[in-house]
Amino acid sequence: MAPLRIGMIFGGRSVEHEVSVLTAHQAMAALPTDRYTPVPIYISKSGQWFTGEVLRTLERYKEVDTLLAQATPLIFNVNTQQPGLLLEQGQARRGWLGLGGESSKYASESIDVAFPLIHGSHGEDGTLQGLLDLADLPYTGSDVTASAIGINKALTKGLLRAAGVPVLEEIYLSRTRWEQASKEVVAEVEARFGYPVFVKPARLGSSIGVSRAEDSDALAFAIDVAATYDSHFLIEPALEELIEINCAVLGDESGAQPSVCEQPISQGLLSYEDKYMSGGKRKGMSGAQRLIPAPLEPDLTRAIQESALKTFSAIGAAGVSRIDFLVRPADGMFYVNEINTLPGSLAFYLWEASDVSFGELLHRMIGQAQTRHKNKQRNMYTFNSNLLSTNPLLGAKR
C-alpha cells in the first residue's frame, strides 16, 4: 500500500506564525515515512498558499521572499469530488480565488489527510477546520466547534464552570467598551479584584499580549496592549504562590488519555521567550525549560490529570491538546488557566515522557482523523423534498 499523503498546513495569518513553522518542521521530521508522505502546505503572513519540497528546509525561512519565489503557489480546492491542491503552473493572472484567465494552468494534487499546524488566528480557531469540512477531507485535531471554543478563553471558562472544573474569576470586556468607558472599567477591576491582575487577549496563545498590572496606569497600558491583538480581552486576579503545571490529552469522544505533567521554569509569568526561545530557536515549545514529571504529590497529579480529561471532554476536543493549570502545591488548590487545542510542538515532549514517541503520536492522530471522518460520512446532508418541482414563490411569506 502506498504511503498516505498528509497535507501539513502551517504558517498562516497569525502572530504565532513562526511558532507554527517550527511545529510543522518538527512534525514533518517525525512523521513515519513508511506509512506517510508529508506534503508541506505553507500559508504566508499575507495569506498566500504555497507547496513544494523547498518548504521542508527550515534554514530557508531566514529569507522567506527568496524561499517563496522557489515554492509553488496554489489554491486549496474545496470541491468535494476532487478536494486537495491546485498547483499554479507558470505565471498566471490572479483573479477570484486565485484563478486567472485563459493563460492560467493548474495541476491537481491530492492529499489523503489534512494536518492543521497553525497556532492561533485563522488556524486554531475553527476557520481552517471549516474549510476542510467544506472540502470533506479528514483532518487531525479538534473540529470547528471545539476549536472555536478552545481559542476563546471566556467561552472555555463558561463550559468548564458548568462541568465543575475550577477556573479563576474574570472580567470579560470588549475593545469598544474600553474605548468608551475606560474609567468605569478601571473602577470595576479595582472593586472586584484589586491589584495585581493579569490582562489577556481572549483569543490568542503563546502568552502574546499578556501583561501583569500592579496599578491603574499599568492596567490601562496592559489593556491597550491586549486590545491591539484582539477585540475582546479578559482581566483576572493574579493570585500569589501559584506555579504553572501543564498536562496534555490525546484522544477524542471515543476515549482519551492524559500525559505526565510538567512544570515550566520561569521567573513570574511564562513569556513568549520562555516558551519558544529559551532552548534555542529551532526547538519551539520543546526547548523551554521544564521539570518532567512535575514534582507534585501523587494525589495532586492525579487530580490535575482528571481535570485535564474533563476539560478536553467539556469542549469536545480531539487529537492532542495541552491544558495549562495554575497550581498552589501547599494546599492542593488549582485552576485551569486555558486549553490549547493545537499546542506548540504538539506537546510531543510530554508524550515521549509518557512512553509515546512523536511518530506514534502523529500516527494516532491521523488514525483518529480517519475514523472521525468515516463516522461523519454517515450523516445525511441532503433531503429530497420536491419543493422546487412546484413554484416555491407561491408559498413564500410576504
Question: Is position 308 within any domain?
Answer: yes
pTM above 0.85?
A: yes
> Could you give the number of structural domains in the chain?
3
My answer on whether 221 and 250 are in the same domain is no
Question: Is position 325 within any domain?
Answer: yes
Alpha helices in 135-215 (DSSP H): 144-151, 153-162, 175-180, 182-192
My answer on whether 41 and 71 are in the same domain is yes
My answer on whether 64 and 132 are in the same domain is yes
CB 364 within 8 A of CB 141: no
If you ran DSSP here, which 8-state letter would residue 90 be given? S
My answer on whether 187 and 222 are in the same domain is yes
Of 214, 237, 260, the one marking the end of a domain is 237
Question: Is position 38 within any domain?
Answer: yes
Look up the domain containing 25 and give its range: 4-96+104-139
Alpha-carbon span 314 to 334, nearest angstrom? 18
Question: Is position 233 within any domain?
Answer: yes
Alpha-carbon span 122 to 83, nearest angstrom? 20
My answer on whether 291 and 192 are in the same domain is no
Residue 391 is predicted with a pLDDT of 67
Question: Is position 79 within any domain?
Answer: yes
| CATH number for position 194 | 3.30.1490.20
| CATH number for position 77 | 3.40.50.20
Residue 283 is predicted with a pLDDT of 57
| CATH number for position 271 | 3.30.470.20
My answer on whether 200 and 270 are in the same domain is no
Alpha-carbon span 246 to 265, nearest angstrom? 11
My answer on whether 130 and 190 are in the same domain is no
Q: Which helix (H) or strand (E) holds 224?
A: helix 216-229
My answer on whether 182 and 283 are in the same domain is no
pLDDT tens-digit profile, the chain (398 residues): 899 999 999 999 999 999 999 999 999 999 999 999 999 999 999 999 999 999 999 999 999 999 999 999 999 999 888 888 888 765 443 433 444 444 456 788 899 999 999 999 999 999 999 999 999 999 999 999 999 999 999 999 999 999 999 999 999 999 999 999 999 999 999 999 999 999 999 998 767 899 999 999 999 999 999 999 999 999 999 998 899 999 999 999 999 999 999 999 876 555 545 544 555 555 555 556 899 999 999 999 999 999 999 999 999 999 999 999 999 999 999 999 999 999 999 999 999 999 999 999 999 999 999 999 999 999 998 888 777 777 666 655 55
Residue 90 is predicted with a pLDDT of 55
Question: Is position 324 within any domain?
Answer: yes
Q: At a CB cut-off of 8 Å and minimum separation 6, what does 58 contact? A: 21, 22, 25, 282
Question: Is position 394 within any domain?
Answer: no
Alpha-carbon span 340 to 350, nearest angstrom? 14
My answer on whether 204 and 245 are in the same domain is no
If you ran DSSP here, which 8-state letter would residue 149 be given? H
Question: Is position 262 within any domain?
Answer: yes
CB 20 within 8 A of CB 118: yes
My answer on whether 295 and 320 are in the same domain is yes
My answer on whether 201 and 109 are in the same domain is no
My answer on whether 250 and 287 are in the same domain is yes
